[in-house]
Amino acid sequence: MDTAGKHGPASSWPARIVRGRGARAGLVLAGLAAAIAAGAYVQSNRPITVQVAANQENVPVRVFGLGTVEARILSKIGFEVGARLVAVEADHGDRVAKGRILARLDAGEQEAKLAKARAGLLMAEVGVTRAGANLEKAEAVLAQKTEVNRRKQALAGRDVVSQQAAEEAVRDEAVARAEVAVARAEIDTAKAQLSDARAQLQYEETMLGHRTLVAPFDALIVERHKEAGTVIKAGDPIFTIIAVETVWGLAHVDEARAGFIREGQRVEARLRSRPQDAFTGRVVRIGLESDRVTEERRVYIKGDNPPPRLYLGEQAEFWITVATLDRALLVPEAAVQGFDGREGKVWTVEAGRLRRRAVRFRHRTEDARLEIVGGVPEGARVVTRLDSGMREGRRAAVSEAGAE
């Protein structure tokens, strides 16, 4: 039997089978793709559930600053002259009153100079006394010569004495008058020498006083730099002292957060060595010059309840309350796009659909939430967390987050 002639070539059967199977597979894949596309369409267009912000009341706005404990009045004190240090009468940690003696230098040489200055003063005083006596003597001689001259001039007019004697009397009076002028000049010289001797004595007494170091104000000694027996130079620090009442905190605050800080604002602080204790204070000074490298502003805080003992340079954390918001709408900074410090874009839910809005901000809380002050339409809800499926016009269901 010629089967080839009846049914066609035998080799076409596998081809028809393959074509049939391929058509069925194509239909299956097409159906699967359509199902996936339909599912994706449904998925992408179904209402998305988003969290939205709720108005909050009495929200404190605090700015963080990291800093140290410092003292406004800190002095490194020493002697104005150089000599051997013979006594150090205070140590670090001591509280000293103004005027208390803290250290002494060897004063033997200066005491000798002082004794010499006192002797010079006595000599100057004696010189003034002697010059005064010489003046009295010269004035007495002048009075005598004046009287003699007067008599001889009268007698010469009656030819009782010679003309030569009368002329000698005039000369003697003139000499006596000159000696009085010299005596008066000597008194002025002696008085000048007395003033010089007194000034020299005062100078030597002052230099002797420089051999004694006293506390310039009521102070706490922070550090003792020298010991007895050391030969020091003028200006070498012997102690570092501070005025206890001027101890304050120095906080370094990011310039971007420092704009709302004002004097008098309340501050909470925590010392690194006492993390369990809370300290409070007030802003008393804001530095007028920021650090050009770190871009931070210096803020100085005076404590209300400082610990009994403070350590300069200890690290401290400060939280400055710059405002308290009576009622505020806050959104996490992570939910804001294109934030430039004042404006940015947020997602809102309006009439059940998502919209993007450009809004304005003011305060930023310490947990990185931004206060919205404009740009949100009436009745719109602000989304607090971004989702990859968010797009303009998509339907959305809201779930409030952070309501208080």
Taking only the tens of pLDDT, the chain with its 404 residues reads 444 444 455 555 555 655 666 667 777 677 677 667 655 555 556 789 899 999 999 999 999 999 999 999 999 999 999 999 999 999 999 999 999 999 999 999 999 999 999 999 999 999 999 999 998 998 898 898 888 878 877 777 777 667 788 778 888 889 888 998 999 999 999 999 999 999 999 999 999 999 999 999 999 999 999 999 999 999 999 999 999 999 999 999 999 899 999 999 999 999 999 999 989 999 999 999 999 999 999 999 999 998 888 899 999 999 999 999 999 999 999 999 999 989 999 999 999 999 999 999 999 998 899 999 999 999 999 999 988 888 999 999 988 764 44
- The SS3 of residue 9 is coil
All structural domains of the chain with their residue ranges: 48-57+327-401, 64-71+244-325, 75-106+217-242, 108-209
48-57+327-401 architecture in CATH? Beta Barrel (2.40)
Q: How far apart are the first and last CA of the chain?
A: 95
Are 105 and 86 in contact, with CB atoms under 8 Å apart? yes
Phi, psi of 158 (to 5 degrees): -105, 10
Percentage helix, strand, coil for the chain under 3-state DSSP, each rounded to 5: 35, 35, 25
Q: Does CATH number 2.40.160.20 belong to domain 64-71+244-325?
A: no
CA distances, 255 to each of 64, 66, 274, 291, 324 (Å): 11, 13, 28, 9, 20
- Taking each helix axis from N to C end, the angle separating 163-209 and 108-157, rounded to the nearest 10 degrees, works out to 170
| Strand pairing class (266-271; 247-254) | unpaired
Are 358 and 344 in contact, with CB atoms under 8 Å apart? yes
From 2.40.50.100, 3.50.50.60, 3.40.1390.10, 3.40.50.1970, which CATH number describes the 75-106+217-242 domain? 2.40.50.100
d(CA 314, CA 277): 15
AA identity, residue 209 = G
- The SS3 of residue 125 is helix
